[in-house]
Structure 1
C-alpha cells in the first residue's frame, strides 16, 4: 500500500536532484532543494510523488524561465545561485578528498552572470506547420527555445531568423543539429542535417549570412560526421582574439562557455604556474585552438599537444612569432610517456569530460614537479588525481568556475606540486 510521509531534503544528489531518506533508504526528487520539507506519497515500488511543499528551504527561489521543467537545460533553477556555487565548490573539494588529499587550500570560486553564454548546441525538428529549435527535454523531444536566461542576447536574437531559414531548406526533412559559437568576429554557425544541401539551400544560407552579418556558415552530414565539414557561406574573416593574438578557429571549435569564464580559467592557470623564465618549457596537453596556450606563452615556452587536427592547425597558423610549438597527437591513443616530460618545468592539461586516466598515469610516473589540471568533471578529477596523490603530489591551489548556470556542471582549476618550497606558502 502507498504511504504518506513527511520528510526533509537532506542534500543534492550527484545529478542535482534532492536527496531524501525514506525508511533509511535514499530517494531522489527533481527540483527539490536541501532544507525543503515536503509531504510525499511513496508507492509500493518506492516511486516518490510530491504532494505538498510544507516549508521551503531558505535557498529555494522561483525559476526565472517559463520553460523551466520542460527544456532540457537549467535543471536547478529552484536553487539560489550563491547556494549552487557553494554546492559545486563542495563537489570539487569532496572529489579531491576522496582522491586521498587530506590537506587542501582554501577554494577560490567565481560565478558568471546570466545571459553570457556564447556557445550553444541546439537541435531542431520539423513539426506540422512549424520548425522547433532548442534543447531536448529529459529523454524526450525538442523543446522550442522561446526564451533563455543563460544564452548571450546576440545568439538568442538569431533563433527566430534561424527557424525561418531552416524551415525553408530542402535538406531539413526531419531534424538536425545546430552549433553556434560567438567568436570575436561574430557568430559562427555549424549546421548538421541528414540530407545534403541543395544548391538552393546554399543560396538561402548565403543570404541569411549577409542579412545577419554571420561571417561563416558551415555544414556537415549528420549521418556521416566522419567526413568533416564544408564551408557553405563566408562573408568575412573568422577569428577569436586572445589578447593581441587572433586565431581562426575551425567550425564547431571548442570555446569556453562565456568570456568571463574564459578569462577566469586562464587567470587561474597563470596564477597556478610556478615561477618561470621565458625559456622554461610548459607542456600543454589537450590544447584545443589556444584558449590557455596563448596566455601561457607570455610566461614560458609552450609545447602544445592536441588530437583535433583542425584545432591544432588553427593554433599553429595563428601563433607565428609566439613562444608556441604545436604537435598534432591523439593523446587518448598515444599519450606522452613519462620520459617525454623530462624537460618540462610544468605540465598543464585540460582534458575532455571523461578525463585523462591513461595520460595521467604517465604524468604521475614522470619527474615533473608541478601540474595544473583543468577539470569539467569532478568524478574524472577524483579518479585522475588519485594517481597523483599516490605519486606524492599535494594540492597547492583550487579554483572553481561556475560557467554553466543552473546546471550540475562544475569547472575547476587545480594545481598539484611536489615542491616543499611552494607548499610552505600554501594557505589552508
Structure 2
C-alpha cells in the first residue's frame, strides 16, 4: 500500500487527526491540525508514516512510548492548543446537540497524576505481555513506566507483571486494575475467572513480595494485608473492592468544590449515583444527605465513614439502580438540590424525571460529553436553565473530559419554603 499525502484539518473527539479524501473522512492517530503528512489508508483510518510539514503547535512528547502505546491520544500539542481542544470536546458535543450553554474555562486537575490504572495482560506461549493497548488495536504495548501515574502507584507496573505470571498458562486476557491508597496498592484482577489452588498460593506470594494492601479477583478476596483507605474531605473511607474513584485526587476536589458552591444554600440534598461518597461525605458537613447507588459495598462504606467522622451528619443510604428505577418526580421534590454523576452512558431516565420536578438546583456531573449533552437537553426541555458548564481535565492527554454543570429552575422554592407557605 503506497502512502498518500494528506492535509490534517482538525482533531476529532478521540484525539485523532481528521483529513479528507474527497468527501470521505479519514482518522489518523498522532497527527495534528494543519500538518501535511503521508499516511497509509485503510478504510476510514490511516497510519501516520511521515510528517512533511509539522504544526506550529507540535511539541516533543513527554513519554518515549507515545506513538505506539494508545494510553495517550495527544501528547504533542502545545499547552494552549491542548487546552482549547480539550474544552472544545464539550463545546462540540453541545453544538452537535443544538445546545447553547455557557462553557467556562477548563480547569487543569491532573495534580499529582492518576491514582488508578488498569494494565492489560495478554499471553503468548506462556509468557505475559503487560502494558496498555495500542491505538485502535488489541495489541498490548509493553511499557517500562508511565509518567502520568501518581506517586501512590509506585511499583504498580512491577506488581502487575508479577501477578500476571502465575496465570500465563491459561492464555486468557487479563485486566489488572490498581488503585493507589494511603495503605498501599489495592489490586483487582478481572478476566481470570475462578482460581486453582496453586494459582491462589502463587498470587498470595506476589502480594507478600510486592507489599500489596489487598488483592481481589472479580471482587472475591485473595489476600488482605492492610485495609486500603482513602481520604474524602474530612472522612477516611475503607475502600470496597473494585470501587469507582475519580481519576485524580485533584480532579475529585475540583468537582466537589463546584458541587459545594452550587449547593451552598441547600438544606436537603440527594446524591444520585453516589458511589463511595465523593460529594456526600463533603456535603454532610452542612446538609441532610440522601445517597443512592446500586453498589451496596460503596454505600455501606460511605455510611460507615460518615458515622466515624466528627462533624458529619448521618447519611441516609439507599441501594437502588437508578438507571432502571429512577427517583420519580414526587421523590425528587423533597430536596433543595440534586447531584447526579451517572456512568459514561448517562442517565436519560433519571434526567427525564428530574426535568418534570420542581427541584430548585440540579448539578450534573459527567465524564462523557455526548451523554452529558443528551441529558442536559432533557433538563432544558423541561424548563431548567443552565447557569454554566465547566470542563475539568483530570484525564491529561486522553480524549476524555469531566464536566460539571449547574441547572436552576426559575421560580422554584425549597421544600421548607413550600411548607411555610402552606
TM-score (norm 2): 0.87
Q: Deviations over 1:201-224 (max 9, x none)?
A: 33333333333332211112xxxx
After the TM superposition, which residues 178-257 of structure 1 pair with which residues of structure 2 at under 5 Å, given as runs? 178-220=176-218, 229-257=219-247
* Corresponding residue for residue 425 of structure 1: none
Partner SS state of residue 107, structure 1 = coil
* Corresponding residue for residue 397 of structure 1: 388
* Corresponding residue for residue 77 of structure 2: 79
Are 2:319 and 1:328 equivalent residues in the alignment?
yes
Partners in 2 of 1:142 and 1:34 — Cα distance?
Answer: 28
Distance 1:39 1:139, change over 3 A: closer
* Corresponding residue for residue 299 of structure 2: 312
Deviates more, 1:94-103 or 1:57-66: 94-103
Partners in 1 of 2:167 and 2:9 — Cα distance?
Answer: 50
Distance 1:98 1:291, change over 3 A: same
After the TM superposition, which residues 17-166 of structure 1 pair with which residues of structure 2 at under 5 Å, given as runs? 17-38=16-37, 52-102=50-100, 104=102, 106-113=104-111, 116-128=113-125, 130-137=127-134, 138-166=136-164
Distance 1:165 1:366, change over 3 A: closer
Distance 1:171 1:371, change over 3 A: farther
Partners in 1 of 2:202 and 2:245 — Cα distance?
Answer: 27
Structure 2 spans left out of the alignment, 5+ residues: 414-422
1:336, 1:362 within 8 Å by CA — same for their partners in 2?
yes
- RMSD over equivalenced CA pairs, Å: 2.8
* Corresponding residue for residue 226 of structure 1: none
Q: Deviations over 1:103-129 (max 9, x none)?
A: 52643522415x611111122123346
Deviates more, 1:54-63 or 1:245-254: 54-63
Partners in 1 of 2:212 and 2:409 — Cα distance?
Answer: 49
1:306, 1:329 within 8 Å by CA — same for their partners in 2?
yes
Partners in 1 of 2:44 and 2:138 — Cα distance?
Answer: 24
Partners in 1 of 2:79 and 2:106 — Cα distance?
Answer: 16
Q: Report the Cα offset of residue 102 of structure 1.
A: 3.4
Distance 1:49 1:324, change over 3 A: closer
2:6, 2:19 within 8 Å by CA — same for their partners in 1?
no
Distance 1:180 1:73, change over 3 A: same
Instruction: Count residues with an aligned counterpart.
Output: 408
Distance 1:420 1:365, change over 3 A: closer
Equivalent position to 1:288, from 264, 268, 275: 275
Partners in 2 of 1:232 and 1:6 — Cα distance?
Answer: 52
Distance 1:392 1:186, change over 3 A: same
Q: Report the Cα offset of residue 6 of structure 1.
A: 5.6
* Corresponding residue for residue 366 of structure 1: 357
Partners in 1 of 2:412 and 2:321 — Cα distance?
Answer: 35
* Corresponding residue for residue 368 of structure 2: 377
Partners in 2 of 1:3 and 1:71 — Cα distance?
Answer: 22
Q: Deviations over 1:331-360 (max 9, x none)?
A: 111111111111210110000000001110
Deviates more, 1:62-71 or 1:244-253: 62-71
Distance 1:199 1:171, change over 3 A: farther
